[in-house]
Structure 1
């Protein structure tokens, strides 16, 4: 299974990871994918510095959470998913990573704002991820 997943990512120039934040971390299925992907001799080298072997790839992340984590603000420290994914990708040699943090809205959760209106504010950011 791991070899098949690694072959898929080696064949791709760009890939998308869309994930929720569960209990302050990545869901178990995504953690399992990470464990299948991070393999010596396949995605990183055992040479000094442990260089990644998946260079010239691009990754796009959509991280969905209950709260909003805004880059550069104190709330960003509570986003424990994005740093993990960035570290894993960087370790495998994937440095071109763009992220959309699709946080929730208390107003939407309380029904004061239509969910479609809340989600609309992320449409441009998600569309921009597709531009290579």
Structure 2
């Protein structure tokens, strides 16, 4: 059974283009795999930033955690468990000020845990979440995917690779300010061509 994890981060709710695209991607994948399980995580509701308390919590043995540490670690562990359980990650990436939304950055920070998603070896870092696929639905008003001012897509792709997820594809509705309808249509066509 295929397990799909859908991550949305846009603040625009029903008006969000990245949400529209992640919805279509999930529908395409689920249509090809009728037994697929879909887990949804909406980051726009807020994701706590990591801090010293987080470090103390997640790197303390579970049996030695205080009540506060257990609560902090439990939230972070749930995010991590969702990613570990998924075969495919479908991530909505609206470009905000040339970068990733703060909540998406915080989600990634929660996942960046030595011994869980990566480890250091003599040969350098090794990602521990191998064998997964990620499809990123990028939307932007003016930023072109892969351009010199796109600080979002490269970062997300790098971090996924750092975690061992190297099969990463982009569906882009970028530079919509110039031709929103045509750009969205091209992105939707791209979704229809994705291997399911």
TM-score under structure 1 normalisation? 0.81
Q: Hey, what does 2:135 align to over in structure 1? A: 60
Contact 2:173 2:186 in 1 (8 A): no
Structure 1 residue aligned with 2:126, among 51, 71, 79? 51
2:193 maps to 1:128: yes
Q: Hey, what does 1:103 align to over in structure 2? A: 174
Distance apart, 1:118 and its partner CA: 4.5
Structure 2 residue aligned with 1:10, among 84, 87, 90? 84
Structure 1: gaps spanning 5 or more residues: 109-114
Structure 2 residue aligned with 1:26, among 100, 107, 121? 100
SS in 2 for 1:50: strand
Q: How far apart in 2 are the matches of 1:4 and 1:93?
A: 19
Contact 2:100 2:152 in 1 (8 A): yes
Residues paired across the two proteins, number: 121
Is the helix fraction higher in 1 or 2?
2
Tell me: CA distance 1:122–1:98, structure 2 relative to 1, closer, same or farther (3 Å). Answer: same
Rg larger for: 2
Distance apart, 1:105 and its partner CA: 3.4
